[in-house]
């Protein structure tokens, strides 16, 4: 049904007013914004939403996350990426996760995302030990039902995991190495066939709300055949090519040790750095790497909370922006940041880069941060033509905040309060493609209590499964710690930690 939001304060993110709050009426017909102007007259049949004392913003875009981790929230702390991954993405002892659990996990994650104002997920879905079409379909089905917008990946690690880390031949006990070698990994042909099938049958579901994207895990975790083939598919279907690049110093060292060059130069050299490429993290990019990313017109998804929790380092926010690199913001998964609330990431971004830079004129502005959380993420998701701002013709994805709340009292600069004062508790209504999916704080598309109850019933079994996997993978703790310490002590051209200057 058509909606008319009247008399609202709106952050449009359009080219004229940007992130400045302005007075607007918004008319929504079907899934699109039909018009947005200082005043609009209701048309017969319109459902009028009173925007007085409300702030309306474009739906937030979470430009990097993993719904797998929704079942791992709050499970681990104080582990760096490589040690954490050995538990959260187990190497040994995996068995196929059934589609019904994947559906439940996806619903849980989508509900929490929507209720916190995230209308688009870039969900790098990773299944262990491998992902099949039925599992992938379960995510599409769940997101279709809940009503979120998403890019959903096929994710691939096409090498034995211990081959993707430096110094393993020195530290990994031979018996463990032999055990890892018995595991099969997906081939490029299998992955590319799954991806083509997903593009041809799942991509575009929900009137285009749900898209398939290719996601080779990382340059060092995949063969060249995977990286080149996935890039070709991303070009053919004009889809996102999503990949983790230089998240940790260990990965910087991996480039030198295993490729004799930066991993970005390697990707560029094989033609896998293109406009539809989004790097998740991009912390340990050198100045030359940043130039290559900018020249390709590629994007970086910045995930400061996950990067702090895993001790990965601080991405060069200002250097990336100065070079002209498009930036999105991501929460990363619910194990490395323990929440899909992008508003937390927005605040962390605005704060973090102030303590790394004494020149206060280079600090992130509210406008830059909100751009990354909306249009920047949309551009990284290859959706900038349809989402990311409130403009006529774009999809009606928006969030309505109640301004009669403590976070917005007293009302000063609402854009600044949105970034620094609000945590999502003032969210009243969330709309995706013109459909109200959150109404007065309640999800309308699905029975949230039933989802939580079903998970509750499965929790004992779930935790026993996770405990077994933790035990099976504890063999990696000692060798990975040795590898990690050696990587930290390896001299590097760039420095991305706060505090101590390592070698």
| Contact residues for Zn ion, defined by CB under 5 A | 280
| Residue placing its CB nearer to Zn ion in the complex, 267 or 280 | 280
CB 214 within 8 A of CB 239: yes
Nearest distance, CB of residue 32 and Zn ion, angstroms:
32
Task: Report the nearest approach of Zn ion to the CB of residue 360 (Å).
Answer: 31
Q: Residue 489's CB: how many other CB atoms inside 10 A? A: 11
CB of 489 to Zn ion, least distance (A): 25
CB atoms within 10 A of CB 66: 27
Closest to Zn ion by CB, 99 vs 333, is: 333
In the three-class reduction of DSSP (H, G, I as helix; E, B as strand; rest coil), residue 375 is classed as helix
Rounded to the nearest 10 degrees, the angle between the axes of helix 224-236 and helix 188-201 is 20
Give the nearer residue to Zn ion in terms of CB position, either 102 or 427.
102
Nearer to Zn ion, 280 or 488 (CB): 280
Query: With respect to Zn ion, which residue has the nearer C-beta, 4 or 280?
Result: 280
| Minimum separation from the CB atom of position 97 to Zn ion (A) | 18
- If the CB atoms of residues 35 and 339 are measured against Zn ion, the closer one turns out to be 339
> 122 near 377, Cβ under 8 Å?
yes
* Nearest distance in Å: CB 303, Zn ion: 7
Residue 198 and residue 136 in contact, taking contact as beta carbons nearer than 8 Å: yes
Rounded Cα gap, residues 454 and 96, in angstroms: 20
C-alpha span between 16 and 12 (Å, rounded): 9
SS3 365: coil
Task: Give dist(CA 389, CA 364) in Å, integer.
Answer: 20
Choose between 220 and 417: whose C-beta lies nearer to Zn ion.
220
Query: Could you tell me the smallest distance in angstroms from the CB atom of residue 155 to Zn ion?
Result: 9
Give the phi and the psi of residue 132 in degrees, each rounded to 5: -115, 175
One-character DSSP codes across 136-191 = HHHHHHHHHHHT-EEEEEEEE--S-GGGGSTTHHHHS-HHHHHHHHTS----HHHH
Residue 122 Cα distances to 139, 212, 242, angstroms: 12, 10, 9
The CB-of-245 to Zn ion minimum distance in angstroms stands at 11
Distance of closest approach, residue 66 Cβ to Zn ion, in angstroms: 6
**Alpha carbon 478 to its chain's center:** 30
Nearer to Zn ion, 280 or 378 (CB): 280
């Amino acid at each position: 049904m058509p909606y008319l939001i009247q008399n609202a304060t709106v952050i449009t993110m359009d080219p004229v007013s940007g992130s400045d709050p302005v007075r607007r009426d918004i008319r929504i017909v079907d899934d699109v914004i039909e018009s947005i102007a200082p005043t609009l007259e209701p048309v017969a049949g319109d459902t009028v939403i009173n925007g007085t004392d409300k702030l309306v913003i474009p739906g937030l875009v979470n430009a990097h996350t993993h719904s797998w981790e929704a079942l791992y929230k709050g499970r681990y702390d104080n582990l760096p990426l490589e040690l954490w991954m050995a538990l959260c993405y187990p190497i040994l002892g995996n068995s196929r996760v059934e589609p019904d659990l994947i559906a439940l996990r996806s619903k849980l994650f989508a509900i929490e995302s929507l209720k916190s104002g995230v209308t688009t997920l870039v969900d790098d879905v990773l299944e262990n030990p491998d992902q099949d079409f039925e599992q992938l379909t379960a995510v599409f089905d769940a997101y279709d039902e809940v009503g979120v917008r998403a890019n959903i990946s096929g994710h691939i690690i096409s090498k034995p995991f211990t081959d993707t880390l430096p110094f393993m031949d020195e530290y990994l006990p031979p018996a463990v190495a032999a055990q890892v070698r018995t595991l099969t990994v997906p081939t490029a042909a299998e992955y590319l066939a799954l991806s083509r099938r997903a593009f041809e049958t799942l991509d575009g579901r929900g009137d285009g709300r749900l898209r398939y994207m290719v996601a080779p895990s990382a340059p060092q975790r995949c063969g060249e055949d995977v990286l080149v083939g996935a890039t070709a598919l991303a070009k053919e279907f004009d889809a996102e090519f999503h990949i983790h690049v230089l998240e940790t110093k260990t990965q910087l060292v991996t480039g030198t040790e295993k490729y004799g060059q930066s991993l970005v130069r390697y990707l560029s050299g094989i033609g896998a750095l293109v406009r539809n490429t989004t790097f998740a993290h991009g912390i340990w990019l050198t100045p030359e790497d940043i130039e290559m990313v900018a020249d390709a017109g590629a994007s970086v998804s910045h995930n400061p909370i996950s990067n702090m929790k895993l001790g990965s380092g601080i991405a060069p926010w200002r250097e990336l922006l100065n070079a002209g690199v498009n930036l999105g913001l991501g929460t990363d998964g619910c194990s490395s940041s323990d929440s899909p609330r992008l508003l937390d990431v927005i605040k962390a971004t605005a704060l973090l880069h102030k303590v790394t830079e004494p020149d206060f004129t280079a600090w992130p502005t509210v406008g830059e941060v909100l751009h990354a959380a909306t249009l920047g993420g949309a551009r990284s998701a290859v959706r900038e033509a349809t989402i990311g701002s409130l403009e006529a013709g774009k999809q009606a994805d928006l969030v309505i905040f109640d301004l009669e709340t403590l976070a917005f009292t007293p009302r000063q600069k609402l854009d600044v309060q949105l970034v620094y004062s609000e945590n999502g508790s003032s969210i009243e209504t969330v709309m995706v493609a013109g459909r109200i999916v959150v109404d007065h704080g309640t999800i309308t598309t699905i029975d949230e209590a039933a989802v939580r109850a079903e998970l509750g019933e499965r929790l004992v079994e779930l935790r026993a499964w996770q405990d077994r996997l933790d035990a099976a993978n504890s063999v990696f703790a000692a060798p990975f710690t040795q590898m990690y310490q050696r990587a930290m002590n390896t001299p590097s051209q760039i420095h991305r930690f706060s505090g101590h200057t390592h070698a």
